[in-house]
């Protein structure tokens, strides 16, 4: 009698190999219930796609050593572009998110998307060529922008930093160069994803599911990981803590048009303005950082006060979300000690004892690379998902795809 076996999707087999659950064909058979013939088919498909390699250099228990299946990180690349108001970071990354080549492009977002994005796409093309990777090895592109994004369409939604970009669809600027998926998200969201995937979901047992990332730079924003998933909100506007009004802000006018927003009293641009008013020749948030590092008392005072203001807003977020970690990134994190001293002072006063019992406040581990690494992880999660792997195989079917041929 001919015995038939259900054929597990190739994407599921890839997930098992990529996650280290299956390292041999026998493992796949055991975990999926597939026959040897069916396993051979799926492995062959993944080998042809360049997603898996098979090695025979493993330990032997007598006789020929068993073949080991491994995820092939060099089986393609993804491109990352962290677009900012004044500069854009670019990278070519392997399929684990490791940076293979990177560059920085000075940009002026005020010139509009038609001036900025074609230049960004062209520079990515040059960076790819310089990294000795062919165009057909690119599997996807991840882009971050400073503002809310409709992630389904890749359109910007009412960006405060780039007002001329409202409603602009980002992906077409890149698909004109590369016929691959293009994913777009808010810059703080991708930084949050980069921090989380690099450190917090692999270094703790059990994995940490809840993290709040705060970008304290020219502006202030937050990213939320809850239950191991990035939370964007109904319209992609989750984490806009910079536009929460603070108590006794002195009527400071914010870039959004409101008064006493957290950004208006505690962001890099607000601190730079106040230092300038006190007679300091300061150029933006990085100038503030330089004065603090030089031991300037006024700059130190302002940064510590900014930390208190941020802590005031974060206390509500900690009570609401109960994260395991609060991670501080952005330019102001380069003067972490005075900033976080003020933040801790207020956050622990205003948050509940239970919500802060095991809370850890930590600096970013990725620093200025958080954006491009986050962009890489964002697109990798999509193009290497079981669903995407199956769709790619379905687009180029072969005879061995027919389940009725798989017998044992």
The predicted-structure confidence for 154-195, as pLDDT tens digits, reads as follows 999 988 888 899 999 999 999 988 999 999 999 999 999 999
CA distance 363 to 310: 15
Structural domain includes residue 101 = yes
If asked whether residues 250 and 186 sit together in one domain, one would say: no
Is residue 113 situated within a structural domain?
A: yes
Looking at the domain assignment, is residue 267 inside a domain?
Answer: yes
* HEC-encoded secondary structure of 273-290: HHHHHCCCCCCHHHHHHH
- Evaluate if residue 304 carries a pLDDT over 70: yes
Residues 353 and 375 in one domain: no
Same domain, 115 and 150: yes
In this model, does residue 395 exceed pLDDT 50? yes
Residue 400 has pLDDT above 50, yes or no: no
Asked if pLDDT for residue 237 goes beyond 60, the answer is: yes
pLDDT for the residue numbered 405: 43
What percentage of the chain has pLDDT greater than the value 70? 91
C-alpha to C-alpha distances, 397 to 21, 46, 75, 390, 394, nearest whole angstrom: 27, 13, 20, 10, 5
Q: What is the mean pLDDT of the chain?
A: 91
Residue 4: DSSP 8-state: B
Residue 58 inside a domain? The answer is: no
What would the pLDDT profile of 3-59 be if each residue is shown by its tens digit? 445 688 999 999 999 999 999 999 999 999 999 999 999 999 999 999 999 988 755
Residue 214 and residue 361 share a domain: yes
Statement to judge: residues 214 and 352 lie in one domain: yes
The structure's pTM equals 0.90
Residue 67 is assigned to a structural domain of this protein: no
Q: What is the DSSP letter of 65?
A: P
Instruction: Based on the fold, state whether residues 181 and 208 are members of the same structural domain.
Output: no
Determine the pLDDT at residue 401. Answer: 45
Residues 6+ apart with CB under 8 A from 253: 259, 264
Question: What is the rounded distance in angstroms from the CA atom of residue 382 to the CA atom of residue 332?
Answer: 32
Return the C-alpha torsion angle 330, 336, 341, 342, nearest 10: -30
Clarify whether residues 153 and 215 are in a common domain.
no
Shared domain for 351 and 222, answered yes or no, is yes
Does 238 fall in a domain? yes
- Same domain for 130 and 17: no
Phi, psi of 52 (to 5 degrees): -135, 145
Q: Which two tokens stand for residue 381?
A: 């999660």
Query: Rounded mean pLDDT of 343-367?
Result: 96
| Model pLDDT for residues 307-331, shown as the tens digit of each residue | 999 999 999 999 999 999 999 999 9
Q: What is the pLDDT of residue 408?
A: 45
Q: How far apart are CA 35 and CA 28, in angstroms?
A: 9
User: In terms of residue numbers, what domain contains 130?
Assistant: 77-190+370-379
Domains of the chain: total: 3
pLDDT at 6: 66
Domain of 121, CATH number, reads 3.30.420.40
pLDDT at 377 over 70: yes
60-103 pLDDT tens trace: 555 566 789 999 999 999 999 999 988 999 999 999 999 999 99
Cis peptide before 206 (omega within 30 of 0): yes
Asked, for residue 61, whether it belongs to a domain, the answer is no
Does residue 43 share a domain with residue 100? Answer: no
245 and 350 part of one domain? yes
Q: What is the dihedral of CA 11, 12, 13, 14, to 10 degrees?
A: 50
CA–CA separation, 217 vs 377, rounded Å? Answer: 22
- The pLDDT of residue 202 is above 90: no
Confidence of residue 398 (pLDDT cuts 50, 70, 90): low
> Average pLDDT for residues 263-269, to the nearest whole number?
96
In a domain, 224, yes or no: yes
5 within 8 A of 38, measured Cβ to Cβ: yes
Condensed to tens digits (0 to 9), the pLDDT of residues 134-153 reads 999 999 999 999 989 999 99
Strand pairing report for 182-186 and 138-145: parallel
Q: Is residue 244 domain-shared with residue 118, that is, in the same domain? A: no
């Amino acid at each position: 009698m001919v015995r038939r076996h259900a054929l597990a999707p190739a994407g599921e087999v890839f997930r098992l190999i990529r996650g280290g659950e299956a390292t041999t064909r026998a493992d796949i058979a055991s975990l999926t219930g597939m026959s040897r013939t069916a396993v051979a088919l799926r492995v062959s498909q993944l080998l042809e796609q360049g997603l898996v390699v098979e090695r025979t250099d493993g330990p032997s228990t007598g006789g020929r050593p068993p073949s080991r299946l491994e995820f092939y990180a060099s089986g393609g690349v993804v491109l990352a572009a962290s677009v900012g108001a004044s500069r854009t970071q670019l990278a070519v990354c392997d399929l684990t998110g490791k940076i293979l080549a990177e560059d920085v492009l000075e940009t002026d977002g005020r010139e509009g998307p038609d001036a900025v994005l074609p230049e960004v796409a062209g520079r990515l093309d040059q960076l790819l060529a310089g990294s000795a990777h062919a165009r057909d090895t690119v599997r996807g592109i991840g882009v971050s922008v400073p503002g809310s994004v409709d992630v389904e369409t890749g359109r910007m939604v009412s960006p405060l930093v780039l007002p001329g970009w409202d409603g602009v669809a980002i992906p077409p600027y890149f698909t004109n160069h590369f016929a691959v998926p293009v994913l777009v998200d808010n810059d703080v969201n991708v930084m949050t994803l980069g921090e989380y995937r690099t450190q917090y979901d692999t270094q703790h047992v059990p994995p940490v599911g809840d993290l709040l990332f705060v970008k304290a730079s020219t502006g202030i924003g937050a990213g939320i990981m809850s239950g191991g998933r990035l939370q964007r909100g109904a319209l992609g506007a989750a984490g806009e803590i910079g536009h929460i009004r603070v108590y006794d802000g002195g009527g400071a006018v914010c870039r959004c048009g409101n008064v006493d927003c957290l950004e208006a009293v505690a962001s890099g641009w607000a601190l730079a303005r106040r230092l300038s008013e006190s007679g300091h020749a300061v150029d933006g948030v990085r100038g503030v950082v330089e004065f603090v590092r030089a031991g300037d008392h006024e700059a130190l005072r302002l940064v510590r006060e900014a930390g208190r203001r941020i802590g005031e807003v974060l206390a509500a977020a900690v009570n609401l979300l109960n994260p395991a970690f609060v991670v501080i990134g952005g330019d102001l994190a380069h003067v972490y000690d005075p900033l976080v001293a003020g933040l801790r002072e207020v956050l622990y006063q205003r948050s509940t004892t239970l919500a802060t019992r095991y809370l850890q406040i930590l600096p970013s581990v990725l620093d200025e690379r958080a954006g491009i690494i986050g962009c890489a992880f964002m697109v990798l999660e999509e193009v290497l998902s079981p669903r995407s792997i199956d769709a790619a195989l379905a687009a180029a079917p072969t005879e061995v795809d027919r389940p009725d041929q798989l017998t044992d």
